A and B are shown apart, each in its own frame.
Chain A
Amino acid sequence: MSSFAPGLSFIDTHSNADMTNCKSFTFQVKPDVCVYADGASPPRARQSSCDISAAEVVVEFKWEPHHNPFHTPAGDPGPTSHFVSETDKAMDTLGQITSYTAAQLGAQYCTHAFSILIIYDQAYIIRWDREGATVSSAIKYNEEPHLADFSITMHKHRLCCVV
């Protein structure tokens, strides 16, 4: 029996902001779930408090569809198609996940980072780097194995590759 996330610990951090690394921020960095690597994280990451400097992946939840900043364009999605919703709620969500990644990349020596945005039954995997972000298509994570695949390959990939 194999786990969905070998070598990773998923910690519920929704009520515990990172007060160590993000003191200078004008808002609290408080992701809903932080994913840490087993054994490699500092001791404080084992607590329920958020430690953005040790987080491998940040997961943010939104349960209302109108918080979704992304939508699938009609027809074949092309590289120039517009897929970002510009409503206030969508911008709030987009800014929130941006701020968490900014805090993470600011505290770690990485060229890129992944985050997960969950909008009820859909999940998006986002890869952030210095040029911006690449957003995956929506994953019906209860029916499709891609989110579980991601959790397996992400950590092993990080161990094998220099990032």
Chain B
Amino acid sequence: MFPAIPVLQVSADPTDSDISPAELRTPELPSQTLVQSTQDLQPVLPTDSTPIKRSCSTMQPYTTNTRCRDTTFNAMGKEIMGYLVGPMPVELFLEKFLSPSAILDYQPLTSFSDGAFETTLSAAHETRAYEPFVGTFTYDIKTVISQSDSRCRSTPCHLLLLVYRLSTPTAMRT
């Protein structure tokens, strides 16, 4: 009726009682092999063949802001170099990433004229180019009270509002 239960036969030989089960499972290794593995586990001092990571995060972070500035930038440039793609044609670039079709009230630029950044390019030094560059994107409104301005012949004019870009030289603001 019931299936037969296998019976585990355990040896009761008194000669085996002095050997633990772990020793039975683990074969005894030759002594020479043990010596070699112990040597492998010992710490190995850095050798010349070990590459030193010279990325920006390991460039002496605990120092002044200016001492390692150039070396940090240089390392950062080398790190990012492999992640750049281009040059992408600028028309395609603007269409792809800043598509006008996604802007609801988009009005195309009509006021750009050749030479708009002439004052920026006329700067002899880089630090003198910032102000005219910023001025090209910024307007200065000048209010003039005038009764005899030639531009107001048809209708009487007392208040004249002149709008200049900040990059416009003062001598030309007439």
Q: Do A and B come from one complex?
A: yes
Q: Which residue of B lies closest to A63 (CB)?
A: B126
A70 and B80 form a contact (CB under 8 A): no
Contact flag A95-B77 (CB < 8 Å), given A28-B65, A133-B84, A139-B90: yes
Contact of B109 among A59, A98, A152 (CB under 8 A): A152
Instruction: Out of A26, A27, A28, A153, name the residue touching B103 (CB < 8 Å).
Output: A153
Knowing A145-B112, A148-B109 touch, does A62 contact B126 (C-beta < 8 A)? yes
Residues of B within 8 A of A127 (CB): 93, 97
CB within 8 Å of A: which B111-137 residues: 111-112, 114-118, 120-121, 123, 125-127, 129-131, 133-134, 136-137
Q: How far is the CA of A100 from the CA of B59 in the complex (A)?
A: 17
Cβ-defined contact, B65 with A27, below 8 A: yes
Q: State how many residues of chain A have any CB contact under 8 Å with chain B.
A: 73
A8 sits at the interface (CB 8 A): yes
Q: Give every chain B residue within 8 A of A33 (Cβ-Cβ).
A: 130, 133-134
> Which residues from A are CB-within-8-Å of B98?
150, 153-154, 157
0/1 interface trace, chain B 74-99, chain A, CB 8 Å (1 if under)? 11111111111111111101100111
Q: Do A148 and B87 touch (CB < 8 A)?
A: no
Contact status of A92 and B137, CB under 8 A, knowing A14-B130, A131-B83, A137-B88: no
Asked whether B137 lies within 8 Å of A5 as measured between CB atoms, the reply is yes
Contacts A133-B80, A153-B106 given; does A138 touch B65 at CB 8 Å: no
Find chain A residues with CB under 8 A from B59 CB: 26
Contact in complex: A135, B86 (CB < 8 Å): yes
Task: Report if B160 contacts A (CB, 8 A).
Answer: no
Q: Which residues of chain A have C-beta atoms less than 8 A from B85's C-beta? A: 79, 132-135
Known: A63-B125, A69-B77, A142-B117. A134 touches B88 (CB 8 A): yes
B144 on the A face (CB < 8 A): no
Contact check, B137 vs A125: say whether CB atoms are below 8 A apart: no
Q: Which residues of A contact B97 (CB under 8 A)?
A: 114, 127, 134
Contact of A120 among B80, B83, B121 (CB under 8 A): B121
The answer for the CA separation of A73 and B106 in the assembled complex, in Å, is 34
In the complex, what distance in Å separates the CA atom of A123 from the CA atom of B139?
22
Least Cβ–Cβ distance between B141 and chain A, in angstroms: 11
| Choice from A1, A3, A134, A146 contacting B137 with Cβ under 8 Å | A3
Is A21 part of the binding interface, using a Cβ–Cβ cutoff of 8 Å?
A: no
Write the residues of chain A forming the contact surface with B, with a CB cutoff of 8 angstroms. Answer: 1-5, 8-12, 14, 25-28, 32-33, 59, 61-63, 69-70, 72-73, 77, 79, 83-84, 86, 88, 90-96, 98-99, 114, 118, 120-121, 124-125, 127, 131-139, 141-146, 148-154, 156-157, 160-161
A-B CB contact pairs (8 Å), 19 listed? A12-B130, A28-B66, A33-B134, A70-B87, A90-B77, A91-B77, A95-B78, A98-B80, A99-B72, A118-B133, A132-B85, A134-B86, A136-B86, A136-B89, A137-B89, A150-B98, A157-B98, A157-B102, A157-B103
